[in-house]
Every structure is written in C-alpha cells, then in structure tokens.
Structure 1
C-alpha cells in the first residue's frame, strides 16, 4: 500500500514547493525524505550543490537517502525524462511500491532555456504517471523570476506547505492544454544580425553541409556532430510532414551555432513531441525526440505563418 501520498492516489503525485528561507526548505524536505526511508521506499535527492549540501547536513548520518548528481540529471529535458523513467522502472522491478524524489532545476534554466524546461515540468505529469512516484520540486522565491513561478503554478497540481499540507495550485493547467499553447520563442541575440545561411527547400544533405561549413572550430566536435544529426532530422521531418516552403536559417557566433527550420504547416500534433518518443507512431516523433537530446536548447513555436523549430549547439545562455 502506498504511504505518504493520499492512499486513493495512483500514479504520479507531483508536488511543488515555493520557499523563501533555507529553514522553510528544510522544514518540508527533511520530513519528506525521512518519511520515505521510514516507510521502506526508495528515496532520492537531485539538488544543486548549495541546497543539496543543506539537506545532506540536516539528515542524520546513514539516513538511507540516496543522492543523485542534480547538475547531470537536468542537463536536457528529454534526457532527464529518459533517465528518470529508467530509474523508476529499475525500482519498480526491484519491488518498490512507492518511490520518493526531490529534484531541483538549476537556476541557469530560468533564463533563455526556460521555455523547454517549462514544457518538461508539464510533460512529466504524463511521462511519470505509470509509476508509483511521489516527487517534490522546490523553487526558491528569492532567486526564481516571477514569470517562472507563474509557470510552476501551472505545471504543478499541488504545493507542499511547511505544516505538512498539500494545497491545490490555483494556476494548474493540464499538460495536454499547456503543451499545445503557442509559447513565444525568446530571441537569441545573434538573430538580430542577418543569418549566415538561408536555404529554401534544402535537402537533408544540404542542411548537414551548411552546419559543417558554419563551424569555425569554436565548438566541441561532438556538439557539431549532434547538431548535424538534429538538423538533418528536422529538415527531413519538415519536407515529409510539413508544408512548403521549408526554410532553414543559420547563425554562427563565437560560442554557438543557431539553426531555425520553418514550414507552413501546423507542426507535430503530439503535445509531448520531443520530450517523449512518439508512442502512437506520430510522423517525425522519433526525429524530434533525438533532436531534443542532441542540442543544447530547442525551441518550438506555432504561429499564423506555420511552425518553427530552433536548435542551438554550444552556449544556450547568450549575453548581449
């Protein structure tokens, strides 16, 4: 029988936590973790260096809580979902009837890349719902922008309070709705300059060559190769499943390459496209999932003129 989370709840029990002091964080997190260990539940922590250190110091020696490398877990949304699903499947296979995790997104995600992390926080309500998981996502209101907190309220069904309650989120929006919304793509400053390359109806081979030609040796070889794979997949998707004209635009900077691919179609119909591999055989689903794991940042936008997907290799947190 599941413990801690309401007994009648099945699947994923997703809880947010907004705190404004370290003491408030520990007052909620420590009982959550020790309660899991006491109930015999696999209990994990994936926090940043500072908050992870606070929690580790507050737990008794030999508590049984297991710490994950938070910075590595939250490198890219699709990769985080894949890694967590593998971890959860392993625990269930070993006999776990409930699992507890507290995980914290790095503050670097609150800037230029927040759009795909907001989609992550929404999508996991579905992605983890076939596991007996109770997770808590803490956000420090002292360092989290108001716009991010607004999305947190929309992507978490409930919030934990210091007195042990779980209160419904007034802003909660179901993922099928949230993920279908037309979120604007935050412009990369490099896009204020004319693109280095513009291709209309490019073949995948032409798209791959454009990326190779734009590389000035400023990026890691693996980053360039990953972008080549991603651009080839997305151009192939646009040609096969989108509507003409298909356009590729590329910008090359000192620390990144940015590529956008647009067509006149509506884009993928699956709201989880990119974050999860398509389970229904949706056109282009696998290619977009590969792209989400290959690039430093991926943004998508639906507008009156069609669908645009932008991929970044290298530094996804540019400054002007």
Structure 2
C-alpha cells in the first residue's frame, strides 16, 4: 500500500528538492524519511558525505534509515541505474509495497558531464517505473547552474517542498520526447587540437590497436582494456548499422584519452540507448550499454553530417 503523497500512485513517484539552505533541505527530507520508517517502508539515503551527515545527526537515534555510499552509487549513470534496480528488486521481493529514497548527484557532474546525468534523470522515469518507488532528488540552488535547474524541472514531474508541499513542475517532459531532443555536450578542449590518431573505415581490430598504441601508459591496464572494448563496440555498430565512411579520432592528454567515432547515419533509434540494454531488439543496444559502463563519459551528437559518439577515459571534468 502506497503512503504519503504517493498514496494511490502506481509506479515511480519522482520528485526534486530545490533547496537553498540546510534548514530547507531538512524540512523536506526529515518528514519524508521518518514517514517511511513509521509506515514500515524501506527508507534509504543516498546523499553526499556532508548532507548525509547533516541528515544522520538530525534523525532520531536508531531511526532505521539506510545510508548508501553516495559517491559510489553515482559514478556513472548506467551503473547507478543498475545498482538501484537491483536494490529496488530486492526490496520488492522481500514484500515492500513502497520504497523511499532521497539522493543527490555530486556537484562535479554539473559541468562537462551534465549531459549524460540529465539523460539519467529523464530515463529513470521509465527505468524505475515498474517499482513502487517514491524518491526525492536534492539540488542545491546555490550550487547548481541555471541550465542544470532547467533540466531538473523538465525531468522531474514534481517539486517537493516544506510543509508537505508537492507541486507539479509544469514543464515536465516524458522521457521518450526529452531523450529524442538534441542536448549537446561541450566540446572537450582537446578536440580543437590535431588528433594523435585519425582513421577512416578501420576494422574494429585496427581501431583497438590504434587506441592501445596511443595510450603510452596514461591509463591503468584495466582502464585501457575498458576503453579499447568500448571503441571496438562503437566501431562495430558504426560499420554494421551506420553509414560509411566511419571516422575514428583519438586525442591524448596527461589526464585523459578522448575518442570520437563518426558515421553518416542517423544513430540509434532507441531513446534509452546506452543507459539501458535494448529490450526491444534494437540494433547495437547492448554494445552501447556496455560502452556506457566502460568509460568515464560518453556523449552522442546528431547533425546534418551524421552521428558522433565521444568516449572519454580518465578525467572527464574539464573546465567549461
């Protein structure tokens, strides 16, 4: 049985908290968490260290709230979806009729990698909708840039506020429509320089060799293997499902390797490509899902010249 603002709702009840002080955050979060505990619902906190400690100290001793290691959960969007789906499935299997979670993304993602986290916030409206989940995503208005807050409003159906306020954002956009829009990520500054590798129509094996040779010990052995696998998957998809010519370019810096794969085709049709394994038989769906788990940032871009995927291994948080 659903309780609180989610009473009578079927599926995922997704809200944002747009707060501007510790007092504001606690005024929303504490009643949400204590209400879940009182109702006997699994009640989870996935906040960063500072806010998790703030909430922990404000809760009654032995409140029965589970605290997750927030930094581990939000390393990559695909990993976060996978981890939360496993958590939710476990609680449902144990008999839960509602699960409450409050979480937040680390502020570092509000920069160069925000595009794939905005996609995450939209996609989870679909990815978690089979579960009786009520979650609140906390965003500090003093820290989050205006374009981030604009995306938050479009990817969350409701805003939660003090005094049990739950107001529609008014601009919420269904995931299929939001994800089909063009949300360009900023160019990596390396892309304004001459690439170390520039190949046309390489075989996947040739692309793998080129990326491995360009590394020169920059990445860890596992990091190189992950990037090589991701490049191989993307090149395979481009050659098999895209339109030639396929162009592969590689840039290297002291802290990262950036690879772009471009073809003349329109790219995948599945709006959830990369974030979820394709469940409808979409071509290349599983390879893109694997790629999103193997790199530190993945972007996709469509324009009149075709479709480009950019893969970053290493530090993806360059200044923007």
- TM-score normalised by the chain length of structure 2: 0.99
- DSSP-derived class of the 1:151 partner: helix
Q: Give the total of aligned pairs.
A: 320
8 Å CA contact 1:19, 1:25 repeated in 2: yes
- DSSP-derived class of the 1:261 partner: strand
- Which residue is equivalent to 1:263? 263
| Separation (CA, whole Å) in 2 of partners of 1:5 and 1:31 | 12
- Which residue is equivalent to 1:297? 297
8 Å CA contact 2:5, 2:166 repeated in 1: no
8 Å CA contact 2:180, 2:271 repeated in 1: yes
- TM-score normalised by the chain length of structure 1: 0.99
The 1:301–1:25 alpha-carbon spacing in structure 2 relative to 1, beyond 3 Å, is same
- Which residue is equivalent to 1:119? 119
Please state how far the C-alpha of 1:319 moved relative to its aligned partner: 4.1
| Separation (CA, whole Å) in 1 of partners of 2:189 and 2:52 | 34
| Separation (CA, whole Å) in 1 of partners of 2:145 and 2:109 | 11
- Which residue is equivalent to 2:4? 4
- Which residue is equivalent to 1:308? 308
- Which residue is equivalent to 1:187? 187
CA RMSD between the two structures: 0.9
8 Å CA contact 1:182, 1:303 repeated in 2: no
Question: What do residues 259-305 of structure 1 show as CA deviations (whole Å, max 9, x unaligned)?
Answer: 00011111000000100000011000000000000000000111111
What are the within-5 Å matches in structure 2 for residues 169-248 of structure 1? 169-248=169-248
The answer to whether structure 1 residue 318 and structure 2 residue 293 are counterparts is: no
- Which residue is equivalent to 1:252? 252
Please state how far the C-alpha of 1:218 moved relative to its aligned partner: 1.9
- Which residue is equivalent to 1:147? 147
Question: What do residues 120-158 of structure 1 show as CA deviations (whole Å, max 9, x unaligned)?
Answer: 000000000000000000100011111100000000000
Q: Name structure 1 gaps, 5 residues minimum.
A: none
- DSSP-derived class of the 1:100 partner: strand
